[in-house]
Structure 1
Amino acid sequence: MSTATTPQQRTGDPGNAAPHTDTGDTRDRHTEDRHTEDRRAEDPHTRRFGLPVATALVMGNIIGGGIFLLPASVAPYGTVSLVAFGVLTLGALALALVFGRLARRDPRTGGPYVYAREAFGDFAGFLSAWSYWATAWVSNAALAVAAVGYLDVLIPLESTAATLAAALTLQWLPALANFAGTRYVGAVQIAATVLKFVPLLLVAVGGLFFFDSANLGPFEASGRSTLGALSASAAILLFSYLGVESAAVSAGEVRDPRRNVPRATVLGTLAAAALYLLGTVSVFGLVAHDKLVDSDAPFSDAVDAMFGGAWGGAAVACMALVSMVGALNGWTLLSAQTPYAAARDGLFPKVFLRKRRGVPTAGVAVTVTLASLLTVYNYTAGSGGVFEMLVLVTTFTATVPYLLSTAAQIHFLASGRGDRVHRGRLVRDAALAVLAFGFSMWLAAGSGYAAVYQGVLFLFAGVLVYAVLSARRKAAATAE
Structure 2
Amino acid sequence: MTASVSEKAEKRSSAVGEAALEAGVAKALAAPRLSMIQGAALITGATIGSGVFSNPGKIVGLVGATGPALLLWILGAVVAFAASMSYAEWGSRVTASGGDAPFLDRAYTRPRRFAAVVYSWTRVILINPGYNSSLCYIAGSYFTQAFPSLFPESTSTWNKIIGTILLILQTVACVPSNNLAGRFVTGTTAMSVTCLVLFSAVGLLNMFGVFSGKRNLESLNGDHFFAGASTDPSQYAMALFKALWAYDGFANLASSLGELKDPERNISRSTITGVGMVGILYLFANFSFFTTLTFEEVSTGGESIASMWADHLFGETGRVIVALFICLTVIACSFVTLYSASRIAQATGETGLMLFPKFFAQLSGKFQTPINALAFNCVMSAAMMWAPQTDDAFWFLIDATSYPLWVWYTTTNFGLLLTKWRSPTGLFGRDPTVKGVQVTPLAPMLVVLVGIFLLIFPFFSGGTGPVTSGIALAVIVTGVVPYWFLIMAPERAAAAARG
User: If the TM-score is normalised by the length of the shorter chain, which range does it land in?
Assistant: 0.7 to 0.9
Would you say 1:436 and 2:469 are equivalent positions? no
Equivalent pair of 1:147/1:321 in contact (CA under 8 Å): yes
How far apart in 1 are the matches of 2:87 and 2:438? 17
Q: 1:393 — aligned with what?
A: 400
Give the number of the structure whose alpha-carbon radius of gyration is greater. 2
Would you say 1:130 and 2:121 are equivalent positions? yes
1:135 CA displacement: 0.6
The root-mean-square deviation of aligned C-alpha atoms, in Å, is: 4.2
Point out where structure 1 has 5 or more consecutive residues left out of the alignment: 1-21, 42-46
- Identity rate of aligned residues, in percent? 17
Equivalent pair of 1:93/1:269 in contact (CA under 8 Å): yes
TM-score scaled by length of structure 1: 0.77
Q: 1:146 — aligned with what?
A: 138
Equivalent pair of 1:78/1:219 in contact (CA under 8 Å): yes
Which string of whole-angstrom CA distances, capped at 9 and with x for unpartnered residues, describes residues 106-155 of structure 1?
23322311111121130011122222222111221222222212122345
1:64 CA displacement: 2.9
1:258 CA displacement: 8.6
Which string of whole-angstrom CA distances, capped at 9 and with x for unpartnered residues, describes residues 171-215 of structure 1?
133323432444333322222222232132122133223216833
How far apart in 2 are the matches of 1:457 and 1:258? 43
Q: Which of 40, 54, 76 is residue 69 of structure 1 equivalent to?
A: 54
How far apart in 2 are the matches of 1:374 and 1:34? 41
Would you say 1:333 and 2:330 are equivalent positions? no
Task: Please tell me the residue identity of whatever aligns with 2:200.
Answer: A
Would you say 1:369 and 2:379 are equivalent positions? yes
Task: Please tell me the residue identity of whatever aligns with 1:107.
Answer: T
Q: Which moved more, 1:109-118 or 1:147-156?
A: 147-156
Counterparts in 2 of 1:474 and 1:271: CA distance versus 1, 3 Å: farther
Equivalent pair of 2:88/2:437 in contact (CA under 8 Å): no
Which string of whole-angstrom CA distances, capped at 9 and with x for unpartnered residues, describes residues 299-338 of structure 1?
33444555x4333321331232122212211221332333
Q: Which of 170, 176, 190 is residue 174 of structure 1 equivalent to?
A: 170
Q: 2:192 — aligned with what?
A: 196
Task: Please tell me the residue identity of whatever aligns with 2:421.
Answer: A
Count of residue pairs the alignment pairs up: 447
1:48 CA displacement: 11
Counterparts in 2 of 1:426 and 1:62: CA distance versus 1, 3 Å: closer
Q: 1:7 — aligned with what?
A: none
Would you say 1:462 and 2:458 are equivalent positions? no
Which string of whole-angstrom CA distances, capped at 9 and with x for unpartnered residues, describes residues 269-327 of structure 1?
33432322221122212323344334353333444555x43333213312321222122
Would you say 1:316 and 2:352 are equivalent positions? no
TM-score scaled by length of structure 2: 0.74
Q: Which of 72, 75, 80 is residue 84 of structure 1 equivalent to?
A: 72
How far apart in 2 are the matches of 1:432 and 1:476? 43
1:366 CA displacement: 1.8
1:389 CA displacement: 7.1
Counterparts in 2 of 1:457 and 1:419: CA distance versus 1, 3 Å: same
1:453 CA displacement: 2.5
1:35 CA displacement: 7.0
Equivalent pair of 1:61/1:331 in contact (CA under 8 Å): no
Write the mapping of 1:31-430 to structure 2, written as runs, cut at 5 A: 31=21, 58-75=43-60, 76-121=64-109, 122-133=113-124, 134-154=126-146, 156=150, 166-211=162-207, 214-215=217-218, 216-217=220-221, 218-222=224-228, 224=230, 233-234=239-240, 236-248=242-254, 251=256, 255=259, 259=263, 268-295=274-301, 297-304=304-311, 306=313, 308-348=314-354, 349-355=357-363, 360-375=370-385, 377-378=386-387, 392-417=399-424, 422-423=430-431, 428-430=439-441
How far apart in 2 are the matches of 1:262 and 1:29? 31
How far apart in 2 are the matches of 1:150 and 1:432? 37
Point out where structure 2 has 5 or more consecutive residues left out of the alignment: 1-11, 208-214, 460-465
1:95 CA displacement: 0.6
How far apart in 1 are the matches of 2:327 and 2:68? 30
Task: Please tell me the residue identity of whatever aligns with 2:372.
Answer: A
How far apart in 2 are the matches of 1:336 and 1:224? 40
Which string of whole-angstrom CA distances, capped at 9 and with x for unpartnered residues, describes residues 249-270 of structure 1?
x559x74599498777665433
Equivalent pair of 1:91/1:435 in contact (CA under 8 Å): yes
How far apart in 1 are the matches of 2:273 and 2:368? 24
Counterparts in 2 of 1:454 and 1:83: CA distance versus 1, 3 Å: same
Q: 1:451 — aligned with what?
A: 468
Q: Secondary structure at 1:79's aligned position in 2? A: helix
Counterparts in 2 of 1:301 and 1:266: CA distance versus 1, 3 Å: same
Task: Please tell me the residue identity of whatever aligns with 2:377.
Answer: T
Q: 1:8 — aligned with what?
A: none
Equivalent pair of 2:89/2:439 in contact (CA under 8 Å): no
How far apart in 1 are the matches of 2:38 and 2:369? 15
Task: Please tell me the residue identity of whatever aligns with 1:398.
Answer: L
Q: Which moved more, 1:260-269 or 1:65-74?
A: 260-269
1:443 CA displacement: 3.3
1:415 CA displacement: 0.8
Counterparts in 2 of 1:471 and 1:318: CA distance versus 1, 3 Å: same
1:384 CA displacement: 8.7
How far apart in 2 are the matches of 1:372 and 1:335? 14
Q: Secondary structure at 1:429's aligned position in 2? A: coil
Counterparts in 2 of 1:163 and 1:157: CA distance versus 1, 3 Å: farther
Counterparts in 2 of 1:398 and 1:282: CA distance versus 1, 3 Å: same
1:24 CA displacement: 9.8
Counterparts in 2 of 1:79 and 1:388: CA distance versus 1, 3 Å: closer
Equivalent pair of 2:39/2:253 in contact (CA under 8 Å): yes
1:166 CA displacement: 2.9
Q: Which moved more, 1:221-230 or 1:148-157?
A: 221-230
